[in-house]
A and B are shown apart, each in its own frame.
Chain A
Amino acid sequence: MKHCEPFGGLMLTALLCASFPAMAIGTFGPESPDSSNFAARAMLIQDGESTVAAFQIDPEAADGVSHWIIPVPGEVEIEPKPMKFGDDEFESFLAASDPMYLMPLGFLSGCGGGCVEGVGDTGELAEVRVFDTDIPGSGLDIRVFPANEMDKLIGEPAVAEFQLSEDQKGMITGYGSDGWQALLVTLGNGVSWDKSTPLIVYRYSGSHMVLPMALSSIVVDTELQTLVTVVANRRMNPAESPGVEPRLGLPAYRPEMTRKFYNSRVRVAIEEADGHAWVLEYANTLEALNQRHRELEKADTEDMVYAGIPENPGAVFDAFKREGFLSENFGKDAFVTRWRTYIDIDDLKDEPFIQSPTDETYEVFIDAHGSRTPSQGAVWLPLVAMGWLMRRRRE
């Protein structure tokens, strides 16, 4: 049985023909409340000969985080600034590519197929991400350090507070040697376990799409959870780490457990890849992603319950265009690839993303409806004709 199907017409058919709710399940949420681990999410968008990067971190740390260094694999073309979204565009974009879970009404809940499960019953659907997007950008300062000024960056009082080791200093100067620039983000009010940074967006030259994670080893306690959505004209895969797909199977657990189960299977997939891998969560064109959203809207009928259906997943690109980060004609032929991982502090390194040999599409779509139909219709065999035996009957 194959339970995690690449997305195709299947989903539309299922949504239109069946009366079961669609649910977006959580994708983000550190599971270690007592550690100082970070969660990070990012977008890397290839736009012509430039790249637009958007980063956000959520330190699960008791103490406020006041500074943040972001290496940039190119020359900053448009100064970074925090995005102030009006309608949670980034959230909507991520929600549109979330793993989806469809289930029959009332199944496994004791309703016997006759009652409707409310969103609130699940408990897992609200606040699926730890990021608080309402954090204002006030008091935030971002400075760009050119490649030849890495020593100056290290000498900044804010950076000096880190008491970097020689190796860590060497890591920063190494970026400069490679022609990278760096951003020093000062978070005026700091962020701690219950807050996240604003989404920092900037545009740099070149199409070198790298997720800079190596420096996080300075502050991360044990691991870094990262979600990255790479948008280019092809599917993009991690260049130096394996990409894997979680085995999800056919749910025997109750619907409320979906998020927990998925998150656990993500970790299992990483462990099965020797503890270091990226887990694929979505791969398809931007047009298909928007279509997925529209299909969910169609499915939102009276006899279906849904959660997390985004208002407008493409709005984030409109916002980037509005702010001048993206060119006006961006979007045509764009391909969205979403990866997620937990990386141990000892394995943290910058991860480049390169074109995939194929544009194979993928989505996490768990349909608990069709495969659960009990087998019916046993074929009747005629009883053996006894007539011929009668001829042998002896009285």
Chain B
Amino acid sequence: MSSGLKIGVFGACLLGMHACAPPSIRAAHSIDKGDVSFELGGSLDLSGHQSKLLTLTGSDSLPLREKSTTHAMVVMGLGAGFEIGSGMQLMAKYSFLDERRHDTPVSVAVMASMPTFEFLNAGDTYDLSTGLLVSRHMQIGRSVALRPVLNALYSQRDYRATTPIPESLTDPDVPVSEPEMWTSMRYSGVDVPVGVEIPITVGDKWALAPTVSYTMSVPLDVAAGGFSCDGCAFAIEAQEMGTPMSLWVGLKLQPKLQSSTGGRDEAL
């Protein structure tokens, strides 16, 4: 792929991407100047937050979790260890210890991401994170590698938990095909995604990397705000906040990592 084409693809994605940035692990090494990588995945909120309910006959509870969504992002190398990415979020990364550019067993980078202005203006969701990325690339076969990744990110998020309502908690006088409750959530804390990428070489320059990560969080502040409900027959007694955690599974199409270029931006 020529540099012009790469930049064109990246620009198009920058303008047209509408999916959410993945709360996934991110490897710490950089990609070549002008190279792009594509990420597609889905996250599953496993948080322990729940609404304590008062019902017509007693008490109950419902989980407060973000609806599973598909995420996409395009990342472009800027050279000298810098990358920027765009999806629902803008991402900037700098690899100061880089397996691609340096003779080092691990890569270490810093990263910051923020919502795109379009989503900021929407005011519905908000996600800001910044922190440290660590990864190690281990070639375990001719065309397969294993890349354990550990991130530690300070994050602030406003998001909406979407909770399907079981029939027993619905208002029989207001038939709703898919009764749901929406709850505004606010979170700040330290996310620690741990996971692995398995890059599989595709052709000379590309690798397809199935990725899975599990994020455990140390919340500094987590709270539920306003809510609305469609077809519900209960009241909220309390919002109990549990431990935030999530699972991310995805696929990344990225330039094949060729280690230690000696500080140059071109792969060996």
CB A249 to nearest CB in B, in angstroms, measures 3
Q: What chain B residues lie within 8 Å of A384 (beta carbons)?
A: 110, 112, 130
B92 touches A (CB below 8 Å): yes
Residues 350-395 of A at the B interface (beta carbon under 8 Å): 371-376, 378-381, 383-384, 386, 389, 392-395
Inter-chain CA distance A329–B140, complex, in Å, is 97
B156 touches A (CB below 8 Å): yes
CB B163 to nearest CB in A, in angstroms, measures 10
Report which of A247, A271, A393, A395 forms a contact with B54, defined as CB distance below 8 A. Answer: A247
Q: What chain A residues lie within 8 Å of B181 (beta carbons)?
A: 252
Q: What chain B residues lie within 8 Å of A372 (beta carbons)?
A: 226-228
Q: Chain A, interface size: which category?
A: 35 or more
Interchain CB contact under 8 A, A249 and B171: no
Q: What chain B residues lie within 8 Å of A374 (beta carbons)?
A: 184, 225-226
Inter-chain CA distance A265–B53, complex, in Å, is 12
Interchain CB contact under 8 A, A1 and B236: yes
Inter-chain CA distance A383–B239, complex, in Å, is 31
> Nearest chain-B residue to A260 (Cβ)?
B56
A254 touches B (CB below 8 Å): yes
Inter-chain CA distance A373–B227, complex, in Å, is 8
CB A394 to nearest CB in B, in angstroms, measures 5
Interchain CB contact under 8 A, B158 and A389: no
Inter-chain CA distance A256–B173, complex, in Å, is 10
Q: What chain A residues lie within 8 Å of B190 (beta carbons)?
A: none
B244 touches A (CB below 8 Å): no
Q: What chain A residues lie within 8 Å of B110 (beta carbons)?
A: 384, 386, 389
Q: Render B202-226 as a binary contact track against A, CB cut-off 8 A, 1 for contact.
A: 0000000000000000000001111
Q: What chain B residues lie within 8 Å of A260 (beta carbons)?
A: 56
**What DSSP secondary structure best describes chain B's contact surface?**
strand
Residues 149-165 of B at the A interface (beta carbon under 8 Å): 154, 156-158
Inter-chain CA distance A253–B232, complex, in Å, is 5
**What DSSP secondary structure best describes chain A's contact surface?**
loop
Report which of B126, B188, B224, B232 forms a contact with A252, defined as CB distance below 8 A. Answer: B232
Interchain CB contact under 8 A, A394 and B102: yes
CB B126 to nearest CB in A, in angstroms, measures 5
B46 touches A (CB below 8 Å): no
A348 touches B (CB below 8 Å): no
A189 touches B (CB below 8 Å): no
> Nearest chain-A residue to B169 (Cβ)?
A252
B12 touches A (CB below 8 Å): no
Inter-chain CA distance A260–B181, complex, in Å, is 20
B94 touches A (CB below 8 Å): yes
Interchain CB contact under 8 A, B94 and A383: no
Inter-chain CA distance A110–B104, complex, in Å, is 60
Interchain CB contact under 8 A, B114 and A248: no
Interchain CB contact under 8 A, A257 and B130: no
B174 touches A (CB below 8 Å): yes
> Nearest chain-B residue to A268 (Cβ)?
B58
Interchain CB contact under 8 A, A249 and B232: no
B9 touches A (CB below 8 Å): no
B234 touches A (CB below 8 Å): yes
A251 touches B (CB below 8 Å): yes
Q: What chain A residues lie within 8 Å of B96 (beta carbons)?
A: 389, 392-393
CB B125 to nearest CB in A, in angstroms, measures 10
Q: What chain A residues lie within 8 Å of B138 (beta carbons)?
A: none
Interchain CB contact under 8 A, A1 and B235: no
* 14 pairs, A vs B, C-beta closer than 8 Å: A252-B235, A253-B233, A260-B56, A268-B58, A271-B58, A375-B184, A375-B186, A375-B224, A379-B188, A384-B130, A389-B96, A393-B81, A394-B81, A394-B101
User: 9 smallest A-B Cβ distances: which pairs?
Assistant: A375-B225, A249-B235, A374-B226, A252-B229, A264-B56, A249-B54, A249-B237, A383-B112, A374-B184
Given contacts A376-B158, A394-B102, 17 further A-B contacts (CB under 8 A): A1-B236, A248-B54, A252-B53, A252-B232, A254-B171, A264-B56, A268-B57, A374-B225, A375-B185, A375-B224, A376-B123, A379-B156, A380-B128, A381-B130, A383-B114, A384-B112, A393-B94
